[in-house]
Structure formats: structure tokens, C-alpha cells
Amino acid sequence: MTEIRDNFNRTFKTLRVSLLNTCNLACVYCCCGNEDSKENYRDAKSKALSATELITLIRMLHERLNLTTVRLTGGEPLLYKQLPDLVAGIRQLGIPELKITTNGLLLEDMAPALKEAGISSINVSLDAIEPEVYYLMSRRHDLSRTLKGIETAKHLGIDVKINSVVMKGLNDSQIMPLLQYAFDRDITIRFLEIMAMGHLHDSADKHFFSQEEILALIETKYSVLPLPRKPASTSNYWQTAGGHLFGIVANESEPFCSDCNRLRLDAYGNIYGCLSSNSPISIREADQQSLDGGLMEALAQKQSVKFTGSTLSMLHIGG
């Protein structure tokens, strides 16, 4: 069977699955305060895929693409009622790496079940380590719950990383405290440039804090050595003289479109080849022939040079 590839020799090896488009935070880069009503939420929830349906689609994609990684996202994936069953079902497909990205609010309670079901790595979104800035970013007062979740997952032996979206004028003061928090716990942290998504599609520049600025700030305290970028990686990594790792996801400053291997599946059975496209491609009822057509269409959505973003909310498609 011919491998799915485009003219840039790109294919799909990493699948990011958005389990639902709801969240228990309201982060300023994701939500703008006028999100869907409860009626729309109930309607969206009724159309979302069950764990069995998601496993069926993931199996079909894996059989065609030989996936190396599945990452579960949201919204907030720990709100998905069938999460442990879903994780266990995906694990049985034989995909080497099964990961999840979460805000960590429910992680303290759920980490044991996720570990038992087969999660190998957890990325925790944490944009501030000071409570008042955490509230400014998330509009919630639950910082301690996220920190307890990180500690619990670490204690269980789960590989934990931290993701921090940096917004100039809002939480750029948190870069060094977050870095220290991660280093003290031997956790790899990644700082993310703000993405032009959803309500920020035309206004992300207002809060843009570049890779160069992040690195310059870190170098005021640490001597750092750049590490070679791994193929298809979203992150550039550095190592401090003390051996600590940190990364920067520089989607604007240093785009990684040229060898991107990520495919996204939303909660309703639609795939997307790139966050810069908000045109869903349904595979919910796909057979093998129509699946190939959908995958080629998704590949055609990928940018050739630079991420441009779209009006699609990160609440819907995940990080």
C-alpha cells in the first residue's frame, strides 16, 4: 500500500485527539468570555464520539499510518468520562507512545487510573506559579490543585513536562519563577509563543513574546547550550550548565512546518492537517478508500513555510 505523503515528503505519525471542547479553566488565550451557551454545550456533547467510536477511528488511522504517538487533548481531557477506558483501548492498539495534555486540576485524583491504563507521559499546562498571575491567565483560583496533580504524577513515576504559554504584559514575569519550579523538580519545561488562534487570530501581536526574548531573559541567570532539533519536533531545546532542560515552541519565530507530522482528530470525527486550517474533514463514516482521500486533503492543509493560525478556537482542537 502506498504511503500517504505530500510533495514536501511529509506524512502523519503523531495523532492529537481532542476529546471534548469544554474546559474547567477559561484561559485568556483560549476563551474570550462569550463562549457557547449551555444549550450549545449540551448539543455539542451529544454529538461527541464515545470511547468505542474514538478507538475505532484511531485504529483505522493507525493501520493506515503506522502512528508512533497519540496525544489526548481537549478542551480539558480529564473531563472526559470514559478516559481510563479510552486510554486502555488505545494502548491495546500497539502505538508506542500514549500521552496526554491537561491543565492538571483533576490530575491528583486521576493520575493513578491513567498510570494503570497506560499513559506514558503527561504535559501539564501551567502559565504562572504565582496565584494572582495564575488567576489573570486562567480566571480561576485553583493553582494548588494543579501543583498537587504534578507532584502526584511525578510520585507515580509518570514522565511529566510543563507547558507555559507566554503573553507579554500578562505573564512574562513568570518565566523565571516557572523555570526555577521546574528545575527544582527535575521537570522539563517548554515556553510557548502565543498562537494566532480563535479570538486572537488578528490580535496575537499585542501579547507576542518571542523566542529571542524568552532566551535572553533566561540567559541573565543561566549559561545555556542549544541542542540539535529532533525531526518533526515542535520545540527547540537548550541545556543549562547544571544539566537542566528547557524548550521553546517558537511557532512564529522559528516555524516547524517543513517536517510537521501531526494530524488532529476532533471530538466529532473530523480531522485537520494543520491548525492554520479550520476546514474539518469528516472521517466518521469513512471506509479505507475515502480515508485515504481525507488524509491527502488533510496533508494539503499543511503550510509550506509558516504557521498562519485561524479562527478555530484552541478550546475546540486542543494544544
Q: List pLDDT tens digits, range 84-98.
A: 999 999 999 999 999
CA angle at 236 for the pair 144 and 306, rounded to the nearest 5°: 105
* Domain presence at residue 3: no
Q: Is residue 6 part of a domain?
A: no
pLDDT at 200: 75
Predicted pLDDT at 275: 84
At 293 the pLDDT is 94
Q: Cα–Cα distance between 241 and 224 in angstroms, integer?
A: 6
- Which residue in the block uniquely carries the three cell numbers 509518570? 158
pLDDT in tens, 236-284: 999 999 999 999 999 889 988 889 999 999 999 999 998 888 889 999 9
Q: Give a yes or no: residue 89 inside a domain.
A: yes
Q: pLDDT value at position 45?
A: 55
Task: Judge whether 317 and 272 are in contact, CB under 8 Å.
Answer: yes
Mean pLDDT of all residues in 107-111:
97
The predicted pLDDT at position 174 comes to 98
Residue 272 resides in a domain: yes
Q: What is the pLDDT of residue 147?
A: 98
Per-residue model confidence (pLDDT) at position 271? 97
> What CATH number is associated with residue 170?
3.20.20.70
pTM of the model: 0.93
Instruction: Please indicate, yes or no, if residue 25 is contained in any of the structural domains.
Output: yes
Mean of the per-residue pLDDT values of the chain: 91
User: Which are the contacts of 84, defined by CB distance < 8 A and separation ≥ 6?
Assistant: 110, 113, 114, 116, 117
**Which amino acid would we find at residue 230?**
K
Q: Among residues 129, 138, 136, 77, which one has the least CA distance to residue 265?
A: 77
Task: List strands edge to edge, sheet with 262-265.
Answer: 224-226, 236-240, 245-249, 188-193, 159-166, 121-125, 97-102, 69-73, 14-18, 262-265, 270-272, 281-282
Is 8 a member of any domain? no
Let me know if residue 309 belongs to a domain: yes
User: How large is the angle between the packed helices 175-184 and 211-218, nearest 10 degrees?
Assistant: 60
Instruction: Report the distance separating Cα 115 and Cα 110, nearest Å.
Output: 9
Q: How confident is the model at residue 37 (pLDDT cuts 50, 70, 90)?
A: very low
Is residue 179 over pLDDT 70? yes
pLDDT in the model for residue 308: 72
Range with lowest mean pLDDT among 112-116, 149-153, 157-161, 198-202 = 198-202
pLDDT score at 204: 67
Hey, which residues does 15 pair with through a beta bridge? 70, 263
Predicted confidence (pLDDT) at residue 218 exceeds the cutoff of 60: yes
For the chain, the domain total comes to 1
Is 2 inside a domain boundary? no
- Integer distance in angstroms from the first to the last C-alpha of the chain? 31
Residue 105 has pLDDT above 50, yes or no: yes
- The contacts of residue 41 (CB under 8 Å, 6+ apart) are 22
In this predicted structure, what is the pLDDT of residue 33? 58
- Nearest in space to 59 (alpha carbons), one of 92, 85, 101, 26: 92
pLDDT-derived band of residue 206, with 50, 70 and 90 as boundaries? Answer: confident
The residue range of the domain holding 284 is 14-317
Model confidence pLDDT, tens digit, residues 42-81: 445 557 899 999 999 999 999 999 999 999 999 999 999 9
